[in-house]
């Protein structure tokens, strides 16, 4: 059925306004990152007077951006891998077995999502410091501590989404695998995981983005050598002279990997949400 003109026109107007709203900062980010310093220090210009790629070279010198980038990659990457593996195991247990405490587990894990981060920031900081003192395992200020923290941030949502996803895979499939000689873990990795790839990809994307974008814990739990992009990027803006063109260039550089990855994989995320969250 062809949509009536009133709908088509409303759609055009609504979608145009929303596109403008969404893309405005993106335009500012891209265009300002190519402007010379005097342009971004004076009145804003829609059309740059001259283009330069200098900011893209300067950003690495003004702050140790490469180091922050590496730290973020290690922290977010490890947190993602660990979070996905742990979520797969948990979701498999909840989806395939009946056991005492199942409901308590899912409700508790989900409700940790609503804790205000500020409530456990300081206690966690103290716990990490005390663990370091008594066992010598450095968690405070180290990448390991941040990885440990971040992987739990995405865990509840990942488990929740994967339970839904695993439930939609017929149990007969893994029963058949067990009859053919697989153990429960064999059935998980040979049957359930391959069938749930879209859900697992979705969960991985979510976990990576959560870790890549976190600010609060990164600003308290890191030191000079473990600082991530979330804190490092503020290095340009807190100086007396703000190099806005470099700030924008750096913002763009740190955004490109996640945005590209997300846009490539967003189909999986929508599919994962449909199977997991909505039902």
Partner 1 sequence: MTSTVTADPRVGKSDSGGGRGTGGARRRLPRIPDRIRNGGLPYLLLLPAVLLELLVHLIPMIVGIVMSFRQLTQFFISNWGNAPWTGLDNYSIAVDFDAPIGEALLHSFFVTCVFTFFAVGLSWLFGVAAAIMLQESFKGRGVLRAIFLVPYALPVYAAVITWAFMFQRDNGLVNHVLHDQLGLTDQPSFWLIGDNSFYALLIVSVWKGWPFALLILMAGLQNIPRELYEAASIDGAGIWQQIRKITLPSLRPVNQVLVLVLFLWTFNDFNTPFVLFGRAAPKNADLISLHIYQSSFVTWNFGTGSAMSVLLLLFLLLVTAVYLLVTSRKKKGSGV
Q: Which of residues 69-98 bind partner 1 (CB under 8 A)?
A: 86-87, 89-90, 92-94, 97-98
Q: Which residues contact 41 (CB under 8 A, 6 or more apart)?
A: 244
- Coil, strand, or helix at residue 9? helix
d(CA 75, CA 143) in angstroms, rounded, equals: 6
Query: Which position among 47, 50, 61, 115 is part of the footprint of partner 1 (CB under 8 A)?
Result: 115
User: Please, which of residues 11-30 interact with partner 1 by CB under 8 A?
Assistant: 11, 14-15, 18-19, 21-26, 28-29
The answer to the question of residue 174 lying near partner 1 (CB under 8 A) is no
Q: Which of 52, 8, 5, 6 has the alpha carbon at shortest distance from 33? A: 52
> Nearest approach, Cβ of 61 to partner 1 (angstroms)?
19
| Residue 113 touches partner 1, criterion: CB under 8 A | yes
Instruction: Judge residue 276's burial from the number of C-beta atoms within 10 Å of its C-beta, 0-12 exposed, 13-18 middle, 19 or more buried.
Output: buried
Residue 50, interface with partner 1 (CB under 8 A)?
A: no
**By CB under 8 A, residue 277 contacts partner 1:** yes
- Of 165, 186, 198, the C-alpha closest to 266 is 198
Quick check: 279 binds partner 1 (CB under 8 A)? yes
Q: How far is CA 217 from CA 11, 46, 127, 223, in A?
A: 41, 36, 14, 12
Q: Note whether 103 binds partner 1 by CB under 8 A.
A: no
Among 44, 49, 53, 176, binds partner 1 (CB under 8 A): 44
Q: Does 270 bind partner 1 (CB under 8 A)?
A: yes
């Amino acid at each position: 059925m062809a949509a009536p003109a009133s709908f088509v026109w409303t759609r055009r107007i609504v979608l145009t306004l929303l596109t403008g709203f969404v893309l405005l900062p993106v335009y500012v980010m891209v265009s300002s990152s190519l402007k010379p310093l005097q342009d971004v220090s004076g009145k804003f210009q829609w059309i740059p007077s001259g283009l330069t790629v200098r900011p893209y070279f300067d950003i690495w010198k003004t702050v140790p951006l490469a180091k922050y980038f590496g730290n973020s990659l290690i922290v977010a990457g490890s947190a993602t891998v660990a979070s996905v593996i742990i979520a797969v195991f948990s979701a498999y247990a909840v989806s395939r077995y009946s056991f005492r405490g199942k409901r308590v587990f899912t409700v508790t894990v989900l409700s940790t999502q609503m804790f205000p981060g500020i409530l456990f920031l300081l206690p966690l900081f103290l716990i990490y410091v005390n663990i370091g003192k008594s066992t010598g395992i450095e968690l405070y200020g180290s990448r390991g501590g941040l990885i440990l923290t971040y992987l739990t941030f995405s865990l509840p949502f990942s488990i929740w989404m994967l339970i839904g996803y695993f439930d939609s895979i017929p149990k007969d499939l893994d029963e058949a695998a067990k009859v053919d000689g697989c153990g429960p873990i064999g059935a998980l990795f040979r049957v359930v995981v391959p069938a749930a790839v879209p859900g697992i990809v979705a969960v991985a994307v979510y976990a990576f983005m959560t870790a890549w974008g976190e600010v609060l814990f990164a600003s308290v739990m890191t030191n000079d050598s473990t600082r991530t992009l979330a804190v490092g990027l503020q290095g340009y803006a807190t100086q007396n002279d703000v190099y806005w063109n470099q700030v924008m260039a750096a913002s763009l550089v740190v955004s490109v990997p996640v945005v590209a990855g997300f846009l490539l994989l967003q189909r999986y995320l929508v599919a994962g949400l449909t199977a997991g969250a909505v039902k």
